[in-house]
A and B are shown apart, each in its own frame.
Chain A
Amino acid sequence: MMRDERLIFEKSVEGRIGYSLPENDVPVVNPEELFAGQMLRKADPEIPELSEVDVIRHYTNLSKRNYGVDSGFYPLGSCTMKYNPKINEDIASMEGIAQMHPLQNPLSAQGNLEILYRMDKYLSEILGMERVTLQPAAGAQGEMTGLMIIKAYHMYRLDSKRIKIIVPDSSHGTNPASAALAGFEVVHIPSDDKGCVDIKALEDILDDTVAGLMLTNPNTLGLFEEDILQISKMVHECGGLLYYDGANMNAIMGIARPGDMGFDIAHLNLHKTFSTPHGGGGPGSGPIGVVKELVPFLPVPLVEKENDYYVLDYERPLSIGKVKSFYGNFGIILRAYSYIRTMGAQGLKTASQAAVLNANYIRKKLEDLYEIPQNRICMHEFVLSAQRQAKNGITALEIAKNLLDEGIHPPTIYFPLIVHEAMMIEPTETESPETLDAFIEIMRRIAIKAQDDPESLKNAPKTTYVSRLDEVKAARTPVLRWKK
């Protein structure tokens, strides 16, 4: 293929068109007659002029420089890059469903409202919660919503001294960022030598200024917090609430539920656990479920069923209001609905079991060549450390870049922050043992080379469209747009 680095703007040819619009069949209104001159655009924006063929070729060629789940193995820890079933895509663009306006009379949107209503029920069941709001657009927004509910709950009880949110040092970065944004003070607690919440440290922090604790379980080391019942008891006894970061829910669908563990609020990432595509960075969907006591604080509206009709309920005086316009990312919710309906209870459980078995299988097959700080049965992911390889200059980053040359998307690297040279591996249930074996074989080969011939591993990737990119230069002198 010929190398073509041009941007779409650099392919523009004056006078070329790529659209087919109906002729204007009503009397033409000249904007100059209506609007004062200063309101009208003087210089055209640099929007390129191309034919449809040019545009299709440009973006088709760009797509070839990208890697998706359909391209190959994508063991990106904490992101659950499972296969995105094709039927879900068809459902999401179905006639009669996709082209609905959110402000239509609810009577004319009964089908869509029924989907939202059922999803509330299904996700509540999966989480072990009372009700679910589908409004948050992503996990981070779910967190924000949950924290706003925690705030509203304490304020409603006139308990305004609760200003602290506790997060483990192994937590996702969004946890402390969301807590700060919701106006809380963030307190980090260390992990103990087993990689779980340090109970002693937690005990020392807990007092009547604690609003809540955010936890992901299994945690970011892929370990189930075995003391979870004690943790939730301790937090509740001091008057705090527990927030469940659902990023790792793919480990325990149909096996255990955050509600039963004592969590009061839990989010799900439909784009992780429920197979909806990541879209190259979004759109996602981050519904949250809450226990009965917190239902009054959920965002408006909720979908209710009244006399066989589905209605949007805005009459919720204690509600925190709206965190996003309308009802959430409906197009994504639809795909997850389709997934739950095709998998059923047994299918979801099988998915979690297979995800956990796959992770343990890889762990077992790599444990002799890589350091695994918590080397015991893990959940759906595990974290290895490339410390041994790093001594020869083959860091987690170098390993990642070598995987690119092998046609594999690398695991998450340098996260969680508490493990040096971390590589977080999450295979998901949708990968075959053959794929896992191929990955294991490559990882073993890299480990051996890192010992015997580290030089041969440097300067990867060599087969990709571009080689290693200068990120420092990009940040020092930002070029964020093309200019003529």
Chain B
Amino acid sequence: MKSSYIPMTTQQQEAMLSTVGVKSLDELFLAIPEELRLKDDLNLPTPLSEHELKKHMNTLAQQNFDAGWNSCFLGAGIYDHIIPSAVKHIISRQEFYTAYTPYQPEISQGVLQSIFEFQTMIAELTGMDAANASLYDGATALYEAVLLASRYNGRKEVLIARSVNPEYRKVLYSGLRYSGIAIKEIDFNKDENNSNGENGTINFEFLKSNINKNTAAIVVQSPNFFGIVEDIKAVSQKAQEVDALLIAVCDPISLGVFESPGALGADIVVGEAQPLGNPMNYGGPLLGYFAVKSPFIRRMPGRIVGETTDSEGRRGFVLTLQAREQHIRREKATSNVCTNQALCALAATTYLSLMGKEGLKEVASQCISKAHYTYNSLLKTLNVSRIFDAPFFREFVVKPKIKPDILNEELLTENIIGGYDLTSEYPELEGCWLVAVTEKRSKKEIDNFVNKVARICQGGIINDEG
């Protein structure tokens, strides 16, 4: 069969076969036992031309509600932020996207320097001493962080706030299933009779009664899954009392305005950097980041880029500290990871370079203003009720009068992607709805959203819980 990606012509094929000393293509595969060689073609659809493929994909796209065409108020760990055009142009340069891992540094300075810049920006945002070249996503980064902590202090129990993204906790549970490391969840405050501004934050009483000399690490997320900003410093002091490590899960956009977890006592900071210039991609690829204080640098998983000099004394970059890695250490490696998310990291680096410290602060501030405007407007309609009272960043929890799944279905018909239904992950928050508002939403979109929610709630099916 002819293919535009296979340059060899029939004539050339004949000549090459004769050079190799075989009569046919089949003869090249004689090492494969006869009974294993397929007699028939694979059962796959007939090939499409480019044009036909595009038409086919358009048909599929029409079955989707894309955030580009609709207003997205869904977050829960993946966010619809504005991405400057320049980002796509940089990551579309073939020298970046068609390259392999930079094993040959002399012809890979582009990727290597961009990763070095990424590591620097992540270290700056998180207030840590170093960061790696990135990991698959925030969830797997957290898994690696917990492994690091347990190996470091030899302890076998990890305390994790229940307000950490449920998707992350699931990956952690799966990964640690046979590791001998136990996970204990720390509840969040939810005391309806006590509005001291702490509802929605980690429960310190519970933390105090569970922390002990076996605790390898405490994991806290801020802003947490409910959008609420946690007191990382207080949690870190608790960790220090028993020499446990503090692992903070942080959203990088929020770090434009909030104190860096490094300055608040975190030992390891991980998270999802998708909000930095990467589209939502239906959940992947994402961009996990991993940053540490100096004692943990040589224990980091994944690729790390370091600065050095060439034989003429000029600055250059290489993959470094490779003695940790699988291709050298095999079963004794710190991790099996060899892929990073270099291209997504390049998108994040380009994004941050365009935004600068002021732009990042502006994005974070607009998130705060717009999320609060939406929250207050929704409450004013009297169709949703307040659940927590601690201050939040870009996302908040309310309880609408009708069930969130029904509300979301109705909103879709209005070209709105509604919030996240907390019911199945948090039975204690049955009927509650997590709404995210980024800088991308205009006042007009927000007002429309609030009106539609009110109208649907008034005309819709009453929530059992009232």
Contact = CB atoms under 8 A, between A and B. Distances in A.
Contacts of B420: 103
A363 B102 CA distance: 26
B356 A350 contact: no
A368 interface: no
A58 B353 contact: yes
B3 A351 contact: yes
Contacts of B382: none
B92 A18 contact: no
B94 A229 contact: no
A364 B106 CA distance: 30
Nearest to A400: B104
A102 B7 contact: no
B342 A345 contact: no
Interface string A460-484: 0100111111110111001111100
Contacts of B33: 226, 228-229
B86 A55 contact: yes
A61 B231 CA distance: 43
Contacts of A79: 100
Contacts, number: 694
Interface string A319-330: 011111111111
Interface string A233-252: 00000000000000000001
Contacts of B356: 12, 16-19, 47-50
B137 interface: yes
Nearest to B9: A433
Contact of B339 (A93, A137, A415): A137
Interface residues of A, number: 198
B387 interface: no
Contacts of B110: 62-66, 280
A27 interface: yes
A137 B136 contact: yes
Interface stretch (A138-146, A387-395, A441-449): A138-146
A366 to B, nearest CB: 12
Contact of B357 (A44, A176, A228): A44
B369 A469 contact: no
B314 A466 contact: yes
Interface residues of B, number: 208
Interface string B135-176: 011111000000000000000000000000001101101110
A440 to B, nearest CB: 11
B74 interface: yes
B284 A327 contact: yes
A326 B466 CA distance: 32
B445 to A, nearest CB: 10
A423 to B, nearest CB: 13
B48 A47 contact: no
Interface stretch (A177-185, A199-207, A288-296): A177-185
A324 to B, nearest CB: 6
Given A21-B359, A66-B108, A471-B318, A87 B133 contact: no
A227 B403 CA distance: 60
Given A431-B7, A482-B120, A99 B67 contact: yes
Contacts of B130: 478, 480-481
Interface string A403-425: 01000011010010000000000
A341 B139 contact: no
A429 interface: yes
B400 to A, nearest CB: 16
A377 B138 CA distance: 45
B307 A102 contact: no
Contact of A105 (B111, B131, B137, B409): B409
Contacts of B196: none
B280 interface: yes
A31 interface: yes
Contact of A67 (B107, B297, B320, B369): B107
A277 B3 contact: no
A63 B417 CA distance: 37
Contacts of A151: 177-178
26 contacts: A12-B356, A40-B257, A45-B255, A79-B100, A87-B53, A101-B74, A104-B65, A104-B74, A173-B328, A177-B326, A226-B33, A257-B36, A280-B114, A320-B174, A325-B286, A330-B281, A330-B283, A331-B285, A332-B285, A344-B44, A351-B6, A364-B20, A429-B6, A466-B109, A469-B105, A481-B124
